[in-house]
Structures are given as C-alpha cells and as structure tokens.
A = this chain, B = another copy of it.
Amino acid sequence: MHPETKTQWSFLFEDFEDPKSERGKMMLGGKGAALAHMTDIGLPVPPGFIITTACCNEYHSNHNIFPEGLWEEVVAKLSVIEDRQGKRFGDRENPLLVSVRSGSPFSMPGMMDTILNLGLNDDTVDGLAIQTRNERFAWDSYRRFVGLFGQIVLDVEHDKFEKVLDRFKTGGKSDADLNVEELKEVVAIFKRIIASEGKQEFPLDVSEQLKMAIAAVFDSWMGRRAVDYRRVNKIPGDLGTAVNIQAMVFGNLGDDSGTGVCFTRNPATGERKLYGEYLLNAQGEDVVAGIRTPNPISALAGQMPEIYEELSSISDRLESNYHEMQDIEFTIERGKLFILQTRAGKRTGAAAVKIAVAMVREGLIDEKEALRRISPQQFDQLLHPMIDPAAKLDVLAKGLPASPGAAHGKVVFSPDEAEEYAREGEDVVLVRKETSPDDFHGMVGAKAILTMRGGMTSHAAVVARGMGKPCVVGATALDINYGHNEFTVDGVTIPKGEWITVDGTTGKVYKGQAPTIEPELDEDFEQLMKWSDEYRRLDVWANADTGHDSAVARGYGAQGVGLCRTEHMFFDDERLEVMREMILASGVGEREKALAKLLPYQKRDFAEIFRAMDGLPVTIRLLDPPLHEFLPNKVELMDEVTELKFQARRASPSEMNDLLDALTDKRKLMRRVDQLTETNPMLGLRGCRLGILVPEVTRTQVRAIFEAACEVKGDGVTVIPEVMVPLVSTPEEFVNQARLVRSIADQIINQNGQDLEYSVGTMIELPRAALVADKIAAEADFFSFGTNDLTQTTLGLSRDDSGRFLPHYVEQKIFPDDPFQTIDRAGVGELVRIAVEKGRAANPDLKIGVCGEHGGDPRSIHFFNSLDIDYVSCSPFRVPIARLSAARAEIGENGEAGM
C-alpha cells in the first residue's frame, strides 16, 4: 500500500456508490450491500456503516492487526450515528447500542453471526432501562449480551452459561420468569466464568467491546468451519467478510412495537401475496425461538394498517429492484417501521417454478433468468411425492438417496412376500441386504425399497430409478435378520409388518407412516420445460427397457431411447428361468434351444419399444450380463442340497429314488454354477466378450431386433434401430461384433424387402476404449459412454462393494462426491474428454451420447455440455431434470437463486 493513497476501510450505508452492483456485493458483502441499497432508496433502515471485505483481507495479511486508520474511521462513523440517533456510545444516561454482524459476498455457514446490544456495560445497562422504561428488559439484554460476547468473542463454551441459567430455572421456570435481581446475579456469575475460562475478562469499555467484536468477525473468516466450507465449495479464501455495524432498534418496547419476517411471495406455493409472521412486543429471536406463536402477516393489516401498508409497498419496491422474491426482516419500534435485512427468499420447488414463470410474465426477469432460478434439486421435488415438511418425524436410519420420492408401507423381507402383499392391495416396503434380479418381482410389488448394502448404481438403485420408485440403499447401520423377519437399527427392532416411510430424496428412513404430498405438474411446469428446450444444445434421451418405460419417457420429452438393456428383459420369473438355461447350457445345442425360447420374448419387447418411439431412435445394447446376476444363489443351492440329504436319511425306500435323482440334478447344477462363478464378475465374461465367445447369443438378439423392426415398420411405424456393442476395449472386438450384426441385419432386412436404416455403435465404458477411441470411431456409427462402468474401472471401485467405504470417503472429502452420482471430472471425465476428442477427429459423423446414470445428474450434465457430445440419456423420470439442466448448462448458471 502506498502511503499516498489512503484506502477507505468503511462506508456509511448512504455513502457507497451503487451498492446493488457486483462491486458492492464483493466489497460490502451481501447483507451490507442490501442495507446500503435500502438506505439509498430511502427505506427506513436504522443508521449504520460497513467495514469492507478488503479490510478483512488486510487484517489477515497483516498478522491479525487492524489496518492503519480503521479505528479512526469507526470512531468517526459511530459519531455520525450517535448524532443521527441522538444517543452516545457508552453513555450511561442515553447509550447508543449497536449490532455487529458479519456479511460475506456469498452466504456461508461457519461465520460469526450476530452480536446484539453491543455497548452495554454495568453503567449503560441503567441508561437502557431508562430509555426503554423497562429495567428487567435492560438486564435481560445485558445478560444475553455478556453470554453471547463471552461465547463468541472470548471463546467460553456455551454450556457453561447454559448450566448457570439451568440452576435458576427450577420449578418449571423459563428464562422469561427470571426477575431483575436474579438477572443481575446471572450477569455477575457470567462475568466470573469469563474471567476464569475466557481469553480475558469481560471488557466494560464499550470501544474495547466493539474492537474485539470486529476482530472476532474477521477471525471467524479463517475459522475451521468457514475454511472447510470454502474448500469444499471452492469459494476463494480472499473474498473476505465485511462487518455491519448498525444502531439497535427494539421491537419489545410495548404493544406499539414488534418484529417479524416476511416474504414478498408465498415460499411454499409461489402465490404473489405478502407472506410471513410477526410478534408484537418482541425481539427477533423470539420469533425464531418459537416460544410464543407468531401471527400471520395478514393480521398486521388489522393491527397496524399503516405499517402493513408501508411494508407492502416496501416489499413491492424491493422485488422490482432485485427482480427476485425477497425475504425481509423488520422491526417496529414504538410505531415506526425499520427494515433490518432483505435477501433472496428460499422456496420450495413448486414455488420456485411458479415464481419464475410469473416473474417472466410480469416482466421482472427474462426466460433465461427464469431457468437459472430453478435448481434441478428443486425441480426434482415436483416430480415425486414428498414428505409433508410440516410433519414431525423420527429418523430411523440414513442411507444413500438412490431414487427420489417418498412412500410408506409395511416392512417385508422377501420379494415373494412383497409381491403377495401387493397383490392383496397392501402397501409394502421391501427391505433387503441387497437386491439381485431374483428380487425383481418383489421390487415391482413394493412401494419403496430399502437396502443395507450398495451404492448409487447398485442393482436396487438402478432398478428403482428405472421404475420411478423411492429407494434408499447402503443404510449400513441396518442389521437385517432374514431368519427372524426383522431388522434392528440403533437398538430399535422393526419386525415384519411394521410401517416405515422411505424418503429416497434425502436418504432418510422414518418409523411409521409419514404424511406425503403428491406432486402436480401444471402449466407453469410445461412452460419451463418449453423454455428449457429452446435454450439447450444437448438432446435428452432415456434409458428404457420396455414399451411402457419408453412411453413414459416420451411423455416426459425424451427424444430417443439411449439405452435398452436387453438383459433387464429377463428379470421376471418365467424369463429368468430361460435365461438361466441359456447361461448354464453346456453346449451349443443346449444353448441354441434356450436362445430360441428367448427370441419371441425379445422380439415382442423390441416391437413395443419401437412402436412407443415411432420416429425416434432406439438404442439397443446387446446382452451384457455380468453372469452372476443371473446365476442361482450358491448358498441357497447348498441349503437345498443339505435339505435333500436330510430327507434322504429318513426316506422310505420308495421315496429314495426320487430323492437321489433330485440330489443328482441339484449337484450337477451346483457344479455348473461353480464353473461359471467368477471371482470378479464385473471384470469377467460379459459384454461383447460373451458375444465373441458365443456368437449365437449375438445372432439371436440381432435377429429379434430386426424381425421386430421389419414387422413394426410394416405397420407404418418409423423405426430407427441403433445396435450397441457393450464392453469393447479394442477396435478388433467391435469389428468382430459389428460385422456379425450387419450381416444378420442386412439379411433380415433383405428378406423382408424393407428399406430400413440402422446404425451400429459401441459403449465406451472401459478406460482402454477411451484411449483408443480414434481406432474404434473409424469403425463405429456412434459412441455411448457407459459412465457407470467407466467409473468402476477408472477408479477401481465396485459399485456393489464400495458401500463400506464410500460414505466415509465422501465425508472425509477424499472424494468430493459419490462418483457414481456425479461424474468424477478429473478422472472419468478426462477419459470422456479424450475419447470425444479422438472419436470426433477420426470420424466427424460420429454420434456421441452418455447413457450412464450420470446422464440424469445436473452437475454431470453441465460437464457433458462442455464437451462435443450430442445427447445424454437418463431414466424416464429424470428426463425433465435433464432437459432443464441441459438448458442451464448452456445459458450459464450464474445468478442462481433458491435453496
């Protein structure tokens, strides 16, 4: 700093030029900028001044010493306020009291909050009693101030003060019941505690109080929680915090005083009407504390019509100035309204949509800004039932929020029971250690699914999302005992049949039936979707395995099917049996027999999907079973063998033969299962490896696809099949399968005399595929990134097994996010980037999409939008969020509001 240029470290509310600007926010912090702006436009704001963020930075770079000139500025500005209020700071007759509040450019937890009534000491407390004509209030304020100052500025544990109060609160007394004498005693004890436990004695000098409070605000910027928060949220450390120093006003000086909060619109519904609550003769914290029940703001119109009028008009002015729904704090002191704070109001998803659309209509914001105002998380709320926010609930357990929405049902532990109960019209929640294709029918029957193991892309999670069913996975605290039909968590045992509620949006599980609210998709929702479609560059496709799913996806605006997982078609009982026959087949003949049985199922499914997607592309992935998902459970098989052995021991000779036959069959099956069991099935015989080793599998599937396509096309439907080869790691693998696909497809198309165009492409789901993408692209029509598997291999992380350490990793910030939920940009994302670049360079016509679960994740979509990718594909229920996210990614998300 040059000695010539004297930096101004602080500004009176009225002295900063254009505080509403970005510069204003950066220098004064959000809170200070709002106070200055309101002062600017003549709103009734108690006088005050702001120490800038620059001063905070100077303080920290200068070994926590106030920069030169700061204190002189503070003293000068304080005297302006004294003059304006007709009070003197530290005066024993007519003292000026101030609040000291931090305020950084971005809202940030971990920062020092508010110190009220600074300026009180053993002398001025009497002056306050005179001013307010309320000795008890004065001493109560004093004891609060001493406690808060001791805690925040002098580092005394909050508990120490609480315990003192507890001693006085015998016989059901509350804080409010303490009399003046008792309060004086409390203050004395507080000061003694501070002297022995705190950094120093409680300062009776009011200037000392203010200096220390300002320093405490600065120090809190470098506090552990604030630093951690900035690191996690990537907020630069050199923004600094401002300090707001403002004259106190009192809402508790009688029935002509009061305090309250109001929103310029209803934050739950979005309705354009003043919304909020207030209390007469009260301080701000009384409203928050909930000891007295506040009145709805509408009642103020009756009690203080002029004040209500003034508040309404201020509310309108602030909204039109900020182009945003405001959350306003106010105090009425002896019939005079003061505005203490205004900021963008938090709101529900429904309100956010309604407000954004309304504001466009009202000309307050444009369409892009409307899109920026709706966070995908809020938007998601609209699409699923949610738990009534008003409900009081006991959290039973917490897991990963695998599939959003809330539902309740009776606990069942087996898929058969889930199916059976559902058939009888009972609502059930299926609780499993983990799920497998064997559980599929149970998941169909259940209202929600809860598992002990697994991550965001585990079987339960993927299937539940596909069904749009609430699901919580990886609730590791659950101790499930199938044998006893119960689970225990934190000492609470929940038997079969008891009600629980699963909230897949938050990952929380509650005891009992929590009340839920059904979503409504109105014209505002549709309007927002229309705007999203106008502004986004990425197409949005859906992952759908059935005609029904495809129709749902199309209803939500999907522009194609990006992933049809043919193996999912075999999850229901009857088909699973045939699928097993195919997998367990020990020779070509046996296998072809099983395949022949599968063909008609597949053909029917494909035909339904083609019809649902008339005119849109349908991407069908060739069989990609990690075989173990379809194999009978070895342990269960062993149990069956044991049971048969027991029976044989007490069997009569006539029963014996049958039993021995059964035993032989079972053992044969066990041997075969044993042969096929893989140590690491995820890295085993799956994907195109299966098709290369057993070409008849590919042949049958391609036959089913193109027979269905020709048939449906014959009915006048426009069919656009895209055949996708899974788990390719070398161009040779792709060429091997693509040749087979093309030869059979062409043969069937020719036989049918059709003119049908199709394409053959591949999943990019192994690191090697990404690294040699140019070589593969030269042979392929399209790429589709299977980011789930790519995440598993790039990070060496099994989605089935990572549940035991992944939460710990995310908590410890070793991973910034669950990489199965939000794409790992530095690793997986880098491979995607490399592959897109190489792929496009080698084949400019290459179509590129993403079909992993990340295709429905807003932050991941933002990343994909930054690459030269054509579409993302996600589960049908995520399509609207993907459309919105794609638009937000394209127009830029700055200026984002909402919670």
Contacts and interface: CB of A to CB of B under 8 A. Distances in A.
Interface of A: 628, 634-635, 638, 642, 645, 678-685, 687, 689, 692-693, 727, 729-730, 732-733, 736, 765-768, 771-772, 775, 789, 792-798, 800-802, 804-805, 808-809, 812-815, 824, 826-828, 830-831
Contacts of A692: 805, 808-809, 812, 814
Contact of A831 (B678, B767, B796, B814): B767
Nearest to A641: B642
A628 B727 CA distance: 25
A684 B796 CA distance: 8
A887 to B, nearest CB: 30
Contact of A683 (B768, B798, B813, B824): B798
B729 A683 contact: no
Contact of A796 (B638, B727, B827): B727
Given A642-B642, A685-B804, A768-B824, A798 B635 contact: no
Nearest to A677: B801
Contacts of A732: 812-815
Contacts of A794: 766-768, 771, 793
Contacts of A830: 771
B729 A805 contact: no
Contacts of A638: 635, 638, 642
B768 A798 contact: no
Main secondary structure of the interface of A (DSSP, over half): helix
A777 to B, nearest CB: 14
Contacts of A767: 767, 793-796, 827, 831
Most interface-central of A642, A766, A801, A828 (chain B CB within 10 A): A801
A868 B812 CA distance: 35
A160 to B, nearest CB: 32
A645 B813 CA distance: 48
Contacts of A813: 732
Nearest to A687: B796
A794 to B, nearest CB: 5
Contact of A680 (B642, B681, B766): B681
Given A638-B638, A693-B805, A767-B827, 19 more contacts: A628-B679, A635-B638, A638-B642, A678-B800, A679-B801, A680-B682, A680-B800, A684-B802, A689-B805, A692-B814, A729-B795, A729-B797, A736-B814, A767-B767, A768-B794, A768-B796, A768-B824, A771-B827, A772-B827
A628 B681 CA distance: 14
Contacts of A775: 826
A772 B689 contact: no
A771 B831 contact: yes
A323 to B, nearest CB: 40
A794 B771 CA distance: 9
A679 B679 contact: no
18 contacts: A638-B642, A642-B645, A679-B681, A680-B680, A681-B801, A683-B792, A684-B802, A687-B796, A689-B809, A727-B796, A729-B795, A729-B827, A730-B815, A766-B796, A767-B767, A789-B796, A793-B794, A793-B796
Contacts of A678: 798, 800-801
A628 B678 CA distance: 13
A638 B804 CA distance: 25
Nearest to A736: B814
Given A692-B805, A805-B692, A679 B798 contact: yes
A729 B680 contact: no
A314 to B, nearest CB: 48
A736 B638 CA distance: 43
User: 8 closest pairs, A vs B, by CB?
Assistant: A768-B827, A683-B798, A680-B798, A684-B801, A679-B800, A767-B767, A766-B796, A678-B801
Contacts of A645: 642
A767 B826 CA distance: 11
A689 B736 CA distance: 38
B680 A801 contact: yes
Contacts of A634: 635
Determine which residue in A768, A772, A792, A797 has the highest number of CB atoms from chain B within 10 A of its CB, and name it: A768
